[in-house]
Structure 1
Amino acid sequence: MEYSVGRCGRVVSMRLFEGEDLYESIESVAKDENIRCGAVFVTGGFRKAKVVVGPEQEKPKIVPNFRNFVGPGEVLGVGTVYWDDEGPKLHIHTAAGRGEETVVGCPRGGASVFLILEVTIIEIEGVKASREFDAETGVKLLRIVQGE
């Protein structure tokens, strides 16, 4: 286990509009505001999303299993934002539903807003962490520097 203790910094409230991209919007604000570490909460609607619902294959590298969510539908989610060597990267898991259909997972294949998406970012100060490439899994994983 790796962990570090920080404290709450700024709180960013966002409203995303119809058609805006979840990842582009949050990562853009995190970059503009230099939020290096934060908790992210979303509520509102998705027009569509391409969601990872688990691994299609685990070895030798993880291959994601994508499922398309076709809205419009309701969504809620929780995630984090940490930087890699290119900038801020959002990692979020959502539950999106329309009628009897529900898709739960990571919409990293893209997600566009239906009507409105309310986003709250709570900055975490005092934690030194980043997303680093893990050769064993083939994905970028969170690494926390202890004792910072």
Structure 2
Amino acid sequence: MKSKVINDGPERTIALVFDKGDEVVSTLERFAKEHGLTASRFSAIGALEGAVLGYFDWERKDYERIPVPEQVEVLSLNGDIALDGDQPKVHAHTVLGRRDGSTVGGHLLEATVRPTLEVVLVESPGYLRKKCDRETGLALIDIGS
């Protein structure tokens, strides 16, 4: 993956271009850790050779895994990076386009890039911290009171 700061204002903007074979979630989390990102949002387009999406099952308090074992276009990928404890954590949702024009979407759990993924990431000057919500078992952004 290559990166370049394209705006160094109060909200720093970084372009990330993923390479074929990069795993999206772990690469984003590693980049965030290496660059000290604590509160960011991002959007992306590109293509994947496969993915695993998730649908949150309220009763089980866990994600139902939805394998997508095929080449797909990333029609929309939006998310944030916030601290979960002291580690950056990606939370992203995506809509993927199949060859026949149909779509599948959900929480992005895993994805492998092919041929590229172009991400625009905006780092906010404030902190977003995630805290475990007892009712759902999910790490949710805590903006305080």
Normalised-by-shorter TM-score class: 0.7 to 0.9
Is the CA contact (8 Å cut-off) linking 1:129 and 1:145 kept in structure 2?
no
Q: Deviations over 1:30-51 (max 9, x none)?
A: 1111111111111101111110
Give aligned-pair identity as a percent: 24
Alpha-carbon shift at residue 122 of structure 1 (Å): 0.3
The letter for the 1-side match of 2:73 is E
Q: TM-score, normalised by structure 1?
A: 0.83
- Counterpart of 1:50 (choices 49, 52, 56) is 52
Give the equivalent residue in structure 2 for 1:41: 43
Give the equivalent residue in structure 2 for 1:3: none
Equivalent residues, number: 135
Alignment partner of 1:103 is 2:104: yes
Q: Bigger CA drift: 113-122 or 95-104?
A: 95-104
The alignment partner of 1:106 has SS state of: strand
Give the equivalent residue in structure 1 for 2:3: none
User: Separation in 1 of the partners of 2:118 and 2:14?
Assistant: 11
Structure 1 stretches of at least 4 aligned residues deviating more than 2 Å after TM superposition: none
Is the CA contact (8 Å cut-off) linking 2:72 and 2:97 kept in structure 1?
yes
Larger RCO: 1 or 2 (CA < 8 Å, sep 6+): 1
In structure 1, stretches of 5+ residues that fail to align are 1-6
Give the equivalent residue in structure 1 for 2:64: 65
The letter for the 2-side match of 1:30 is A
Is the CA contact (8 Å cut-off) linking 1:128 and 1:145 kept in structure 2?
no
Alpha-carbon shift at residue 86 of structure 1 (Å): 4.2
Is the CA contact (8 Å cut-off) linking 1:36 and 1:82 kept in structure 2?
yes
Superposition RMSD in Å: 1.7
Give the equivalent residue in structure 1 for 2:92: 92
Alignment partner of 1:12 is 2:33: no
User: Separation in 1 of the partners of 2:35 and 2:144?
Assistant: 22
Q: TM-score, normalised by structure 2?
A: 0.85
User: Separation in 2 of the partners of 1:142 and 1:96?
Assistant: 25
User: Separation in 2 of the partners of 1:26 and 1:78?
Assistant: 13
The letter for the 2-side match of 1:124 is S
In structure 2, stretches of 5+ residues that fail to align are 1-8
The letter for the 2-side match of 1:21 is E
